[in-house]
Structures are given as C-alpha cells and as structure tokens.
Structure 1
C-alpha cells in the first residue's frame, strides 16, 4: 500500500514533528510531572488516538478532491505547503521559551484523563488543518488507492505519536527538568522542527 520510501520518509518527518515542543507533548509532560507517569502516559495515549478523527477527515477530503479535480488537489497541496512554511518560520523565530507546566486541578480517573486527551486533540482545528496540509505531501495518486494511502499515513502518524507520547509520559520527570533547565535544548528542538516544516512545505509546492 505504501512504498518503503513513502513510509520511512513520512515516519521520519512525523517523529521530528511530534517531538518538537507543542501544546500536546507539553501537556503530556506537564501531566506526567504533576500527576505521575501512568497519568501522563494515559493522557498522551488519548491525545495520540485523537489523531484518528483527523485521519478520517483527511482521507475523505483528499479522496474527494482527487476524484473531483486534480487541479483542486494541486491547490490543496500548494496551500498546505504555504501553511507548513508559515509554521516553520514561526518555529525558527522562536527563542525556545516553550515549557512544560504542571497541570493543576483535582485528581481524575485514568479513563477521564484518556477521554480528556482524546477530546482535546479531536476538536483542535489546528490539528485538522495540519493533517490536511501534511498528509497529502506523501500521497502518490499514480499509485492508486488514494484513500488507503491517506489512511495508512494517518494511522502511522497516530501509532508513532502514541509511542512517543507514552515515552514522554513515562520519562516526564527527567525530560521536564531537562527542558526547564535548558533554554538551548528547547530552542534546538524548535529549530529542527522549523527546518523540517519549511523543507516539507517547499517540497510540497515544488514537487507537483
């Protein structure tokens, strides 16, 4: 369904993007730091699985666009590329101020924490826009089965996010302290993410 080049290229980009400081992974770190490893891991799993809803929307949207008009699909890729470039520039301009903050509030059951992470990710419009911008870059219409390609990419993103968020939750104490003490580390992660976003955006626009 996906060629090795598609899969590993997408996986590498997805891992770098998932590790870059952002609301989801910082929330997972904060949850783990304040509530404990298990709570951080469960919340992170909820956040990761929330990506499945965005995968469904992207699969339906990309497939419909290709069926309706190749020109419309090209327009989506160009707009998506511009959006990724904008995200990259924002990350490159960041000074590494992202910090994991302890999550305040009453203790909640693991099921409620899982549902909270799932719901927070599923209703985030920025994640919807990101998926519609990011996934089409790795879809090759000439290979056929566009819907299955898009779905496989989305599931791959979800799976690696679940693994990485789980690790972030488990090692939240150590990672959180490291980021708190080192602005350089946070800035370095932002620079890497920014470079990846800009490169992906340019590739998305040029390789049409």
Structure 2
C-alpha cells in the first residue's frame, strides 16, 4: 500500500477529531468542569464511534471505487460540495451562547461512547473528509487496502485525542478558545473549504473523461 494513502487516512482521521464540533465543545466543557481524566474518558469512549463512522465511510468509498470509477468521482464531487457548504456555514457563523456542562458526569467514557455512535453527522462528515484526502489515490483503492486504512485512521484518531487531552488541561487555552471561539470556527470553515476544493478538483478529470466516453 502506498505511504501517501496511509498518511491521507491518518490525516483525515486527525482532522475529523480536531475540528470544532459538538463533541469538541462537549469535551472542552467536561474538561473545564472535571479535568483531563474526564476528558480522556469521554474521548476514548467517543473513539468507538469515530472508528465505526470511519469504517462505514471507507466501505462506501472503496465500494464506489470498485463498482465503477465514475461512481467514486461522483461521490468525491458530492462530498466536496458538502464540505464546501459546511465550510461556508462555519465561515459565516455568528456568535451565540453555548451551553456548558453544569453537572458532574460520573461515567465520561459512557457519555463519549453514546455521543460518538449516535452523532448523525459522523457518517457524512467522515465520508467527505476521507474522500477529500484519498481522492488522489483513487486508482489504488480496493478491499485489500481496507485494513491498512482503518489502522492508519485509528492512529490518527488516537494522536488527535492525545493532543486534545493535553490541550484541555491548559487553562489559558480553554480561556482562549472561549474568547476567540467564533474566529476558530471560521478558520475551521476555511480549512473545510480548502479540502472541498481539493476534492472537487481531483474528481473533475474522471467525470470529464466519463462524459466524453
């Protein structure tokens, strides 16, 4: 398997975890209230959901590639448009009050597990992110690469979780996030738009070739 494929899967998994979203906000609030150990329990419970959505996303991506290359390119185009939409929404976000965790959670890992496997946005975001990062290696995707990509994704998830566990214990970073949350969200929007453009550009040659055939 190409090194770039593994790096793409690992990077997609890490970005999936590190970009601000509902789980990120829940983890930040939990860490502020109960410390790093509670955040660690939440994130490693959430890891089950991360792996589930990543596995389903890879099945969809590889399945579309094996059936017909044009299906993969069409999926890449749709995912690129979806990522662009998410990025645009984040880029134009307005400040609003966010709820905080005001009661102690006795089993953070259980809260993270439930949060991870029931997140309805987990699958489409995972498909979009993995498609954007793996599109340039589309010709090499097949079922034999599934295990390696999932293992690389696990490494990306764990590394990102460890970074968040470290960050959440730094009080000034929590305060920085709360103060500049709107700008961080908008910067995330720019990142999503960048990946969206990459996915769309990578899918265009395949769709153009199919149209001419």
Normalised-by-shorter TM-score class: 0.7 to 0.9
Change (3 A) 1:195 1:150: farther
Change (3 A) 1:194 1:153: farther
> Whole-Å Cα distance in 1 between the matches of residues 40 and 34 of structure 2?
10
Match in the other structure for 1:128 = 123
Displacement after TM superposition at 1:102 (Å): 3.7
With structure 2 as the length reference, what TM-score do the two structures score? 0.78
CA contact (8 A) 2:10 2:157 kept: no
Matching of residue 65 in structure 1 with residue 60 in structure 2: no
CA contact (8 A) 1:59 1:151 kept: no
Change (3 A) 1:136 1:171: closer
Match in the other structure for 1:142 = 139
Displacement after TM superposition at 1:43 (Å): 0.5
CA contact (8 A) 2:34 2:104 kept: no
Matching of residue 159 in structure 1 with residue 158 in structure 2: no
SS at match of 1:125: coil
Match in the other structure for 1:178 = 176
Match in the other structure for 2:206 = none
With structure 1 as the length reference, what TM-score do the two structures score? 0.80
Match in the other structure for 2:87 = 88
SS at match of 1:201: helix
SS at match of 1:46: helix
For structure 1, list consecutive stretches of 5 or more residues without a partner in the other structure.
Answer: none
CA contact (8 A) 1:38 1:170 kept: no
Change (3 A) 1:155 1:131: farther
Matching of residue 192 in structure 1 with residue 184 in structure 2: no
Aligned positions, number: 199
> Whole-Å Cα distance in 1 between the matches of residues 39 and 160 of structure 2?
12
> Whole-Å Cα distance in 2 between the matches of residues 53 and 143 of structure 1?
23
> Whole-Å Cα distance in 2 between the matches of residues 97 and 158 of structure 1?
33
For structure 2, list consecutive stretches of 5 or more residues without a partner in the other structure.
Answer: 204-213
Displacement after TM superposition at 1:129 (Å): 0.5
> Whole-Å Cα distance in 1 between the matches of residues 105 and 13 of structure 2?
32
Match in the other structure for 1:2 = 2
> Whole-Å Cα distance in 2 between the matches of residues 82 and 48 of structure 1?
27
Change (3 A) 1:44 1:190: same
> Whole-Å Cα distance in 1 between the matches of residues 58 and 10 of structure 2?
18
Change (3 A) 1:107 1:73: closer
RMSD: 2.7
